[in-house]
Structure 1
Amino acid sequence: MIVKDVNQEREQWGSKVGFILAAAGSAVGLGNLWKFPYVAGKNGGGAFVLVYFIILFLVGFTLMLAEIALGRHTQLNAIGAYRKLREKWAFVGGLGVLAAFMLLSFYSVVGGWVINYVIKSVTGGLNVSDPEVLGNMFGEFVANRWTPIIYHAIFMLLTLLIVLGGVGGGIEKASKIMMPALFGFIILLAVRAVTLPGGIEGVKYLLVPDFSKINMEVILSALGQVFFSLSLGMGCMITYGSYLGKDTNIPESAVIIPLCDTAIALLAGLAVLPAVFAFGFEPAAGPGLIFVTLPAVFSQMPLGNLFAIMFFILVLFAALTSSISLLEVCVAYVVDEWGWNRKLTTWTLAGLIFAIGVPASLSMGPWADIHLLGDRGFFDTYDYIVSNWLLPLGGLLLCIFVGWIWGTDAAIKEVTNNGTLEFKLRGLWVFLIKYVGPVAILVVFVRSLT
C-alpha cells in the first residue's frame, strides 16, 4: 500500500525563461523536424507556410493561452484542474493524461531509433548515398526483435532521469541546455543547406507562396499540423502552467511559445528542403525523409558526416524535450491525486510506458501480422487513437469548457491577474475560444475519421 505524502509542496519554475524554454521544448518535437518539412513539401511549400502562420494565431495562441491559464489558476494536474472547477468535467483532463501516456509509449520507440541513428552517424554507418540501401538498412533495423527495444529502453531512461530531477532541477535545467543547443544546431544546418549550389530553389519553394496552391486540403493539413505540433489537448500546458507563479505574463508566454515552435519548424524546413532540392530529391518524400532521404543527402555534402551527427543530435534533443513533458503530465497526476512520492511515481510510470511501447516496437517486425484496428498494428493503433481521437476531443472540449463552462470572464481574470495586467487581445481571444477554435478542431476531428 502506498501512503500519501501530505507534506509534499508543489514545485514552481525557477524563472520565466525556464518555463518558456520548457514549454517551447514540449511543443518542439519530432513533428517539427520530421513532419513539418515533408508536409510543407507535399502541400505547396510557401502556400502551406502562409496558411500555417494564420492558423497558428487563430488556433494555436488561443488554446495555448487557455491551457496555461487553466493550469496556473488551479495549480493542479490536467485532471485535477478540471475537477476543481467542475467535477463532471474531470474526464476531459483524463483524456489528456491518457493521450500523454499512450503517445509516449510509441514516441519513445521512435526516440530510440533516433539514438541509434546518432550512433550510426558518429561511427560513419550512414555514409551511404543510395536511398535504396539506406531504406533497407532502416527497414532491417526497425524489424529486428531486440535492438529497437533496447534503444527504446535507453530513450525512456533518459526521459525518466530528467523528470526524476523535478520541475526546477530536472525539466527546467535540461530545457535550458537542450533548447539553446537545438536552436544553435538547426541554424547551422539551415545556413549550410541554404548555401549549397541549387539550395536557393528550396528556400523559394518554402517561403514564396503560390496562392493558386491554397485549397481546402492545404488548409486542413496546416490546421492539423498546428494543433498537433503545439502539444495541445494532452494536458502538457495545463501541467506546466500549474507550476507558474502569479507574476508570469500569460498572454506574452502564449505568443512566445508558439513562435519558438514555429521558428524551429521553419528552420527545419530551411535545413531540409534546400538540401533536398540541391541534390535532386523529392521534397514530399514522406515519413522516410529523416531516416532515409536526409542521410543520402548528407553523404553527398562536404563535411556531410559532421552535419549528419549534428542533425540527429538535434532530433534527439527535440524528442527529449517533448518526452519529458509527456511523462510529467502523467507524474503530476499521480503525485497530485494519489499523493505518491515523486521518485516512485516516475520510475513506476516510466516502466509501464516502456512495457506498453514494446508491442509498438515489435509491430514493426516479429508482430507485424498482429492487427488491432482494421489492418493497423500496435504502433499504428496507438497513433490512430491518440492523433485521431484523444487529442482532437481534448482540444475541442477545452475550448467548450473555457469558453462556455468556466467562462471567459473567469479565464481573463486569471490571465490579467485580477486586472493588474493589460490584455489587449481580450475581445478577439474570447471570440476565438468560443467560436473559431471549436469549429476548427471539429473540422480536423471529423476529417481525421474519414
Structure 2
Amino acid sequence: MSQQVKQEGFSSKFAHIMTLAGFCIGISNMWKFPYMVGANGGGIFLLIYLVCAVLVGLPLFILEQQLGRSAGLAGGPGMAKLSKGNKFWTASAGWLGLITVMLIGCYFWTIMGWNVGYIFKTASGSLYGLGTDTAAVAGEFSSFSGSWGCVAGSILCAVVAWFMLNTGFKTGVEKLCSVALPTLIVLLIGLAIYSNMLPGANAGLKWYLTPTLEGVDIGNAFQAAVVQVFFSVGVGMACAFVYGSYMAKTDNLMQDSVLAVTCDTFVAFMSGMVVTPALFAFGIEPSAGPGLIFISLPQMFNAMGNIPGRIFGTLYLIAVFLACLTSIVAVMEAGVANFGQRFGWSRRKASTLVVLFTAGVSVLVTRNMATEGALAGMTFLGNFGLFDTLDCLASGFGLTLGALFMLLFVVISYGYKNFMDEANEGATGGLRLRPWMKWYYTIPLPILLLITTYCIIRMYF
C-alpha cells in the first residue's frame, strides 16, 4: 500500500538551488520577458525590472519561503498551523495559493502544447516556406493553437510531468531541475553569442542595454515590470512556501533565496540577449507582443536561412521547453504537497489527480482557441477567452493577493521579529534581515503591492 505524501527534503544544496530556480524560471522568462522588453522601451524596462526584482520579488520570496520553513508544511496546512487555526489567514494566505497553482496549471499545459508543436515544426522546416510573411505565419499559429495536435502535445507533456512527480520529489522534481536548468543556461549562453554576432545585431544590443525615456510611458513600463516580477519569480502562489517547508533550520535561507532569484533574473536577461539583437538584425519589430515566439521568431528563423534558422530556432525552442517543464513540474509539486498533506493522499494519488484535473481543463482552454467546434470563440469576463480569463484570475489577481495576504499576516499577526529571527537561522556573513527592515516590510512593501493590484486591474480592465 502506497504511503501518504510525507514531508520532503533536499538531497544537496545544489539540488535545492536548482529546484528553487527551476520553479521560478519558466515561460515568463523565455516568452513573456522578451516581448515585454520590446513593448516597453528596451533598456528602461530592463532597468525598472531589475529594481522591482530586488525591491519586490526578493523580499516576498524570502518571506514566503520562511513561512514554509517555520510551518514545515505546505501552504494550506502550514498557514493553519502558523495562524493557530485562524480561518481567514488559512484561506487567504494558504489555500488561495493552491487555487492559483491549479488555475495556472489549467492553461500552462496549452502553452507547452504550442511549444512542443513548434519544436517539431521548426526542426522539420515546415515553417520555412512561409518566409517572413506576417499574415501567413500568424495564420499558421492561429490554426495550430486550438488544434487537436496542440492538445496531443499538451497531454504528452502532462504525462512526462506526472511521471516526474510520481517517482518522488528527490528522484523526479529535484533531479529534473538539477539537469535541465544547467542545460538551459548553457543553451542560452551559446545562442546569445551567436545572436550578437549577426550583422546588425549591435543596434538591438544597444537598445536592450541602454535606458532611455524617449517615447516611453514610464507608468506603463513600471506597471509591466512589477507584474512581470510577480509572474516570473512566482511569489504568492504558495510554491515557495512548499519549498521552504522542505528546508532544514540550518539551511541558509537568505543566501539560497538570493541565488534563486538571481538565476531567474539571469535567465530572463539572457533570453532578451538572444531575442532582441536577432530581431534587430533581421528588421523584425521587437514590440510584437504575446505572439513573439510563435509569430515573430519563426519569421526571424526563416530569415536566417533554411538550415541555420532551423538549428537556431530548434535549440531556442528546446530551451523554452526546458524552462517550461521545470517550472510546471515544480508548480504542480505545490498542488501534490497541499492535497497530500491535507487529505492524507499518497503521492501517486495526489499527482494523478492534480495532473488529470489541470490537463483536462487545458483541453477546454485549447479548444476554446480553435477556429471551429463547440467551444470555439466562447468568451468570459466580458471579451476574454478561457486562456486570458484563467491568466487574469491566476497570474493577475491570485499571485498579487496571495503575496499581499502573506505579508499582512506577518505584519499584523505573526510579527516581524519572529519572521526576522527565523529567516536568519542558518544565515552566515552579512546577508541577513535587519531590525531596520521592519519599516520596509510594514509600509513601502504593502503600498507597492496595492499599487501592483491597481496596475493589474488597469492592465486587464
TM-score per shorter chain, which class? over 0.9
**Residue pairs, 1:212-291, within 5 angstroms:** 212=214, 213=216, 215-291=218-294
2:45 match = 48
TM-score, L = length of structure 1: 0.95
The alignment yields a C-alpha RMSD, in angstroms, of 1.8
Give the alignment partner of residue 326 of structure 1, picking from 331, 334, 344.
331
Match of 1:447 among 443, 447, 455: 455
CA distance in 2, matches of 1:192, 1:428: 46
Compared CA separation, residues 120 and 435, structure 1 to 2 (3 A)? same
- Is 1:411 matched up with 2:412? no
Match of 1:161 among 160, 163, 176: 163
Percent sequence identity over matched residues?
31
Q: Aligned residue for 1:119?
A: 120
Q: Please list the CA deviations of residues 37-86 of structure 1 after superposition, one character each: whole Å capped at 9, or x if unmatched.
A: 11111111111111111111111110010011111111100111111011
Partner of 1:90: 90
Match of residue 149, structure 1, among 151, 157, 166: 151
Q: Which of 196, 208, 211 is matched with 2:210 structurally?
A: 208
Check conservation: 1:4, 1:339, Cα contact below 8 A.
no
Cα distance in 1 between the residues matched to 2:14 and 2:441: 26
Deviations 1:165-215 (A, max 9, x none): 222111110001110010011111111111111101111111111145472
In the alignment of these two chains, the number of paired residues is: 446
Deviations 1:70-113 (A, max 9, x none): 11111100111111011221102111000000101101111111
What letter corresponds to residue 376 of structure 2 in structure 1? A
Shift of 1:419: 8.1
Distance 1:278 1:24 in 2: 31
Structure 1 segment 328-407 matched on structure 2, within 5 A = 328-365=333-370, 366=373, 367-407=375-415
Please state how far the C-alpha of 1:420 moved relative to its aligned partner: 7.6
TM-score by length of 2: 0.93
CA-CA distance at 1:349 after TM superposition:
1.6
AA of the residue aligned to 1:139: S
Contact 1:4/1:340 (CA < 8 Å) preserved in 2? no
Q: Look up the equivalent residue of 1:339 and give its one-letter code.
A: G
Extract structure 1 runs of 4+ deviating beyond 3 A.
3-6, 211-214, 418-425
For 1:26, the equivalent position in structure 2 comes to 23
The residue type equivalent to 1:355 in the other structure is G
Distance 1:419 1:104 in 2: 34
Q: 5+ residue gaps in structure 1?
A: none
Report if aligned partners of 1:58, 1:436 keep a CA contact under 8 Å in 2. no
Cα distance between partner residues in 2 of 1:275 and 1:357:
32
Shift of residue 421 of structure 1?
7.1
User: Residue 438 of structure 1 aligns to which amino acid in structure 2?
Assistant: P
C-alpha distance in structure 1 between counterparts of 2:240 and 2:325, whole Å: 16
Paired with 2:349 and 2:359, the residues of 1 have a C-alpha distance of 15
Residue type matched to 1:165 in 2? T
Letter of the aligned partner of 2:282 in structure 1? Answer: F
Deviates more, 1:364-373 or 1:55-64: 364-373
**Mapped partners of 1:156, 1:90: distance in 2:** 30
Per the TM alignment, residue 418 of structure 1 is displaced from its structure 2 partner at its CA by 7.9
